[in-house]
Structure 1
Amino acid sequence: MRAVVVRGFGGPEVVEVVETEVPEPGAREVRIRVTAAALNPVDVAVRTGAFGGAGKQVGLGWDAAGVVDAAGVASVWAPGDRVVALDHGISGALGAQAEYVVVPVDAVAVAPVGVDDVHASTLPLNGLTALQALDAMELSAGQSLLVTGAGGGVGGFAAQLAAHRGLAVTGLARGADGEFAGSVEGEFDGVLDAAVLGETALGWVRDGGVYAGVMPQGEPASVRGVRTFAVQVTADGAQLAELVKLMEEGVLTTRVAGTYGLEEAGAAHTRFAGGGVGGRLVLVP
């Protein structure tokens, strides 16, 4: 099968498509024939060496939509099931940007009905990050939340989820020039900092409020009694199923800016690096 990998760190030019053996699922694992795999900032971080792995092959891709192809012992999934999944990992030899991916059974959910695979593939990583960050913030209906990077994948889902929960949501997004448009007035019970503004965003939290970051261990230090943390996303099929239901109901929406074949993965990275994409880029094996 074909798979997108890096074997050295750098710009889009280090992205390769290699031929490799189709992986076999073990006990409580499932193999998915991938029909769409979203490109995310974490793939750029892996490509540039932010997570290490020098001297070995590292697969790219965390998000997958597709069809179950084979299942190991004790799997609740069967061949032919249409699914979405989070392939959680930053140092494995293969990722979700491949013709096939093997993931644990509890990282999978039935794909959303009425949503094509390209759009469905943008849900797992960004949706779970937003959901798990909001859960950990423990805000109640009626409280105020500022979401930075509200035009992006995580920020967009976070704003939609928070509004659905009854929070008073303010979104802050980049303008056409790449800078954050508008000004922030007042203070908020919480800030979900999907744009990674750090201490700037922390300054918009009221005394005793809560700040949630999306870069693991990258949150600013607590000040003024503000609780600060950064979410470290985990694969959770039950939570992913909740997100699927909300996507089916139209609560969660997503934008796709373009699709690329696996062999065009480097071109997708180049376009992503240029900024101002205005939606997700998705690889289609």
Structure 2
Amino acid sequence: MDGPRPGDSSGVEPVGVRRMSTGEPQEVLERLRRHLQERGTACELEGLASRYLHTQDADLGGRILGALLARDGRFEVRNGLVRLIRIPDPYEAEEVERVPFAVVDFETNGMVPERAIEIGLACFEGGEEVEAFETLLDPGTPVAPFVQRLTGIVPADLAGRPTFGAVWPELEQRLRGRVLVAHNLAFDRRVLLQELERLGLGEPLGEPAFCTLRFARKLIPREEGRDLDALAERFGYEFSARHRALDDARAAGRILYRLV
């Protein structure tokens, strides 16, 4: 969060409230959502502010968190309490074979600020891939050497490629009406939301979402491995280009149907 804090007209950062980096508010809200979901009941706003904003000023922290929550339709703040608003899931009673999935994977620059350098999207229905989308992106930043080694994507590959803003309308069209899926959804959703934030957009998708990594952790012992490589080996999926966005998305999609 940049600029003066609420209630601080001097422009000086209040004592006891640390400044959050770009994208961090979304991470805080996601952790808070999981906390409320696990508790199954409303929680005090100021207590949540102390826990998730690490503030020593309960009143100021409550106002800051309240402002964040007011922009997110998943939460309701009333009488100093925060509760989750249950969003109806249109797929709740559907058999998995009838649910349309959009499996997404991002490769990023490995730098600060974090930027997407490749998007892969594989859409599945009835256990079969019905549509795919992939593109490299020009992040306008360097690419960390370890990312270049891991993915094989070098800066020359990104020169002249479209920006995220240029491809977002096409990507949004493919995401709309489908359940968003990723292996480590917290990471891929964070990258997506950070890119949308730079475009001045909020979270436009109200679709349900599913994390194959979190689901695998419930089903498979830790020692047997739950990362994408371990699951691909377990279910007999062979990568054609590991650590490239579309191939990783396709792997996550195939793994999804084996898990459910």
Report the structure, 1 or 2, having the larger strand content. Answer: 1
Q: Flag the structure with more relative contact order, 1 or 2, with Cα contacts below 8 A and sequence separation at least 6.
A: 1
TM over 0.5: no
- The TM tier, using the shorter chain, reads under 0.3
TM-score (norm. length: structure 2):
0.28
TM-score (norm. length: structure 1):
0.26
Report the structure, 1 or 2, having the larger helix content. Answer: 2
Higher Cα Rg, which structure: 2
